[in-house]
Structure 1
Amino acid sequence: MALKTSVAGQTWSFADLRTLLAKASPERSGDHLAEIAATSALERVAAQHCLADMPLKVFAGLELMPEVDDWVSDLIARQLDEVAFRRISSLTVGELREHLLAAEPEELERLTYALTPEMVAAVSKLMRNQDLIAIAARRKVVKKFRSTIGLPGRLSARNQPNDPTDDSFGIAASLVDGLVMGSGDAVLGVNPATDSVEDYTRVCRILDDVRSRYEIATQTCCLGHVTTAIEAIEAGAPVDLVFQSIAGSAKANRSFGVSLEILHEAEEAAKGLKRGTIGADCFYFETGQGTELSAEAHHGVDQQTMECRTYAIARAFDCLLVNTVVGFIGPEYLFDGRQIIRAGLEDHFCGKLMGLPMGVDVCYTNHAEADQNDMDVLLTLLAAAGVNFVITVPGADDIMLNYQSLSHHDLAYARETMGLKPAPEFLDWMMRQGMMDETGMLTPAPQALADAIDGVEKLLEAS
């Protein structure tokens, strides 16, 4: 089915939906690398015009990858709520944009399963950054385990105490560094340097020992492979959240060693532990634009649409956290600060519209054309957009994964500047430690810091 439009006195034709979506995408290096991007700004505008005029009911009837047998596509088809979709099926993609901009929070929530990931990707391609921010800010997604994530007026953070050798004291010391700055209400989460069941279990125990000793109102996670988590749970490890990186095609997920069946097995195992105190949302998913291209599994689909397809997997589970590691894969996929900022806002908007508790790892690699000023901009825009959580590390420099993220001080800046608080349960804990006041602002607490460091040292010596 050829898709046509006229722009600037010229008729433009696009072979299929896959081609149209790729040509309509805001520019990014990954689509150029895949040789599917618009070849000029004029072609991009023409594709966006054509996409804007496309009726959703026609859109819903077109196969994105008709030649591929893909379980992600099958899942997407099963998730569509036909009754809810009929309410908006007469709209074009452009009219959907106007509808979303005028929609109240309740309407945005009703649309969650009325839209396919491809529709969500399509409408985002027509939006300015301020549109992505304004709509996402009205779409609240609240989840619970030991703390409540996603409430209005809150900004949570993952405290990421990575260590290049998974050294126990290195992890614990970094953990305390973040806690005293108010980071950790989303999760205390370590990327392990190895993926053995033994190391996975040791990291889980370090995190859980610190959490339980100080009665911290949060959850922990060792970000090993989901099959490692299953084995560790069977061996008695204290696992709160199970983690997995996922992607938007079956082939890309095979490269991660995961399937729907494995993910369901992991969720069942984690829920069986019943470690949540106020909720049972026990999955943590990570995503990122460019994943499918790097795995040679994108099937000619642009990276942002593939990213949205990934969210269909995440929303099939009870997840507390989902985040895009927006600049982590490198400049081959998102070249500079401008592309990273745009992608971060897109991912957050699309995930929220699809009903996910969306966070963002505001980050870049050292060979990208980006710097910490770009990350300041993205953090501030995401805080305005109501992002559920961000990720912070000491000094914004992850010495294990070798990339630049946000510092714990950046989190304090965002909360103080925009009047945002941590999760309520974590705020109560911080206040009891004398490290935060009732407004969520940090207080001078040198004795609390000294006591925490001394306590961690004794804890590790005893274990």
Structure 2
Amino acid sequence: MATISRREGEFDSLRALLAKANERKTGDELAGIAADSDAERVAAKKALSRVTLRELRENPVVPYQEDEVTRVIQDAVREPIYERIKEWSVAELREFLVDSSTTDREIRAIREGLTSEMIAAVAKLMSNMDLALVSSRMTITARCNTTIGEPGTLSFRLQPNDPADDVENVLDSTREGLSYGTGDAVIGINPVVDSAENTAAILEATHGFIEEWAVPTQNCCLSHVTTQMEAIREGAPADMVFQSLAGTEAGNEEFGIDVSLLDEADELARRRCSSSGPNVWYFETGQGAELSGDAHEGVDQLTLESRCYGLAKRYDPFLLNTVVGFIGPEYLYDGRQVIRAGLEDVFMGKLHGIPMGIDACYTNHMEADQNDIETLAITLAAAGSNYFITVPMGDDVMLNYQSNSYHDAATLRELFGREPIEPFGEWLREMGITENGRLTERAGDPTVFA
């Protein structure tokens, strides 16, 4: 890798430069790769601004020969598009993106020539407002049973987790969430017991409820992908398959997956998932996941997060959300770092062409509170996030973390004049849950489904 000079010394590689140009994150400090001072961080940003996209393409943060995530990202580049933009500097890419005359169509025209390292690099040069502005310009749609991401819409995952995987409790929480107008993105459950039998029971229960009440949405059980594959082969009605992703081959090994397994799951899902498709994947990511498994390869957590999106793009997902504050203060220390990371993640995901959402969340030992998470939700709704996760009263009693509540969904839609996915919105009106875009007196009453 090239040596990049600066007045205070040298950055010995692009990997080191990318790390030191990152906004302050406790995960990078824990890994020993962060800038030592604000002065060094500014110097790194200045040096990074002059780096060309070609240099970033030729120097991936993990070598091509050593990492299959790198190979997926590099092999997906559309060479004619790359040839047109390869001599742009990172600063020039930023100026193109933030220019008021740049359209969504023009961003789409260069997207397939970018690598994940290029997208990570430009994010490091952008302010929070830059990230929100550019994100808001990009429209990314996908279709499972319904179509997410249409202009003027804002969707929500209904997350009715139960600490005992009690199916009746899951369905009770589902009724409550639907009565507040959430669930148009997906009804998705994190199981306690990762078995094909338990996964099938959850999928059958949610699928049965969706069919009984003709809810225009999709279901998912977030067990390990191999568990879901077993359940699907045995006939379980899964509208999509789920998996957590990392930005390195070693990180994905910690998750018990590789590209070959994901390819196999993709082929199965496209044949056997119960949805109409064609987008049948749900991925979750989060800055710091690779470091927590000692699989970060000396790379900063923002760049690794971007590489997750480069891998996810291979499978053309219906949903991908960053679980932004879930891992804890070792990686994102406080509300300020969580808000910054959430903005970075949604921007990078959308620039990859991913239908991007977020779990605006935090753990109880983090220096953050519900106001921080509500600020993040408001900011990312303005930035055009496709969807958010919602849990009962903002408190997930199974995963033991804080997020947005079911009733926060109505507030965000009202605040920004957004609607649910249209078939779901029509269903809410027919059920008497909404009228003229607002919740009725029936909202929050799960006996609507009695």
- TM-score tier after normalising by the smaller chain length: over 0.9
Q: Indicate conservation of the 8 Å contact 2:164/2:192, yes or no.
A: yes
Distance 1:319 1:63 in 2: 24
1:158 matched residue in structure 2 = 157
Q: Indicate conservation of the 8 Å contact 1:157/1:186, yes or no.
A: yes
Q: Indicate conservation of the 8 Å contact 1:148/1:425, yes or no.
A: no
Counterpart residue type for residue 38 of structure 2: A
Shift of 1:169: 1.3
1:214 matched residue in structure 2 = 213
Cα deviation, 1:283-331, whole Å, max 9, x if unaligned, reads 0000010010011010100001001011111100131100000000000
2:225 matched residue in structure 1 = 226
Shift of 1:275: 2.6
1:451 counterpart SS class = helix
2:318 counterpart SS class = strand
1:146 matched residue in structure 2 = 145
**1:299 pairs with one of 277, 297, 300:** 297
1:381 matched residue in structure 2 = 379
Task: Give the 4+ runs in structure 1 shifted more than 3 A.
Answer: 1-6, 446-449
Q: Indicate conservation of the 8 Å contact 2:395/2:402, yes or no.
A: yes
1:310 matched residue in structure 2 = 308
2:125 counterpart SS class = coil
5 Å matches for 1:186-265? 186-265=185-264
1:328 matched residue in structure 2 = 326
Work out the percentage of aligned pairs sharing the same amino acid: 47
**2:23 pairs with one of 23, 26, 29:** 26
1:457 matched residue in structure 2 = none
Counterpart residue type for residue 46 of structure 1: A
Distance 1:340 1:153 in 2: 26
1:410 matched residue in structure 2 = 408
Shift of 1:446: 6.5
Counterpart residue type for residue 443 of structure 1: T
Shift of 1:447: 11
Cα deviation, 1:230-250, whole Å, max 9, x if unaligned, reads 110111111111000010001
Distance 1:447 1:234, change over 3 A: closer
2:345 counterpart SS class = helix
2:85 matched residue in structure 1 = 88
Distance 1:339 1:146 in 2: 35
1:111 counterpart SS class = helix
**2:359 pairs with one of 337, 351, 361:** 361
Distance 1:96 1:446 in 2: 46
Distance 1:67 1:240, change over 3 A: closer
Cα deviation, 1:177-217, whole Å, max 9, x if unaligned, reads 11010110000000000101111110101111111100000
Shift of 1:161: 0.1
Distance 1:67 1:87, change over 3 A: closer
Check if 1:99 corresponds to 2:92: no
Q: Indicate conservation of the 8 Å contact 2:180/2:444, yes or no.
A: no
5 Å matches for 1:172-187? 172-187=171-186
Distance 1:60 1:230 in 2: 35
2:71 counterpart SS class = helix
Check if 1:4 corresponds to 2:4: yes
2:13 matched residue in structure 1 = 16
1:343 matched residue in structure 2 = 341
Q: Indicate conservation of the 8 Å contact 1:4/1:11, yes or no.
A: no
Q: Indicate conservation of the 8 Å contact 1:12/1:46, yes or no.
A: no
Distance 2:154 2:447 in 1: 26
Shift of 1:227: 0.4
Shift of 1:12: 3.2
Check if 1:394 corresponds to 2:416: no
Distance 2:234 2:156 in 1: 29
Check if 1:60 corresponds to 2:60: no
Structure 2: runs of 5+ lacking an equivalent: none
Counterpart residue type for residue 413 of structure 1: T
Q: Indicate conservation of the 8 Å contact 1:274/1:280, yes or no.
A: no
Q: Indicate conservation of the 8 Å contact 2:238/2:275, yes or no.
A: no
Shift of 1:11: 3.7
**1:45 pairs with one of 42, 53, 60:** 42
Structure 1: runs of 5+ lacking an equivalent: 455-463
**2:434 pairs with one of 433, 436, 459:** 436
Counterpart residue type for residue 183 of structure 1: T
Distance 1:126 1:266 in 2: 37
Distance 1:269 1:62 in 2: 35
Distance 1:302 1:326 in 2: 15
Cα deviation, 1:332-378, whole Å, max 9, x if unaligned, reads 00000000000000000000000001000000000000000001110
Shift of 1:4: 3.2
1:319 counterpart SS class = coil
Shift of 1:437: 2.3
Distance 1:91 1:71 in 2: 27
Query: TM-score, normalised on structure 1?
Result: 0.94
Distance 1:309 1:315, change over 3 A: same
1:80 counterpart SS class = coil
Counterpart residue type for residue 174 of structure 1: S
1:87 counterpart SS class = helix
Q: Indicate conservation of the 8 Å contact 1:4/1:12, yes or no.
A: no
Distance 1:47 1:447 in 2: 50
Cα deviation, 1:248-306, whole Å, max 9, x if unaligned, reads 001110111111121122122222135324x3211000001001001101010000100
Q: Indicate conservation of the 8 Å contact 2:73/2:116, yes or no.
A: yes
Distance 1:271 1:59, change over 3 A: closer
Q: Indicate conservation of the 8 Å contact 1:359/1:390, yes or no.
A: yes
Shift of 1:58: 2.2
| Alpha-carbon RMSD | 1.4
Q: Indicate conservation of the 8 Å contact 1:434/1:448, yes or no.
A: no
Q: Indicate conservation of the 8 Å contact 1:143/1:320, yes or no.
A: yes
Check if 1:272 corresponds to 2:271: yes
Cα deviation, 1:394-449, whole Å, max 9, x if unaligned, reads 110000000001001111111011101111111011111011124x3212227974
Distance 1:201 1:359, change over 3 A: same
Q: Indicate conservation of the 8 Å contact 2:153/2:421, yes or no.
A: yes
1:212 counterpart SS class = helix
Distance 1:446 1:114, change over 3 A: closer
Q: Indicate conservation of the 8 Å contact 2:200/2:236, yes or no.
A: yes
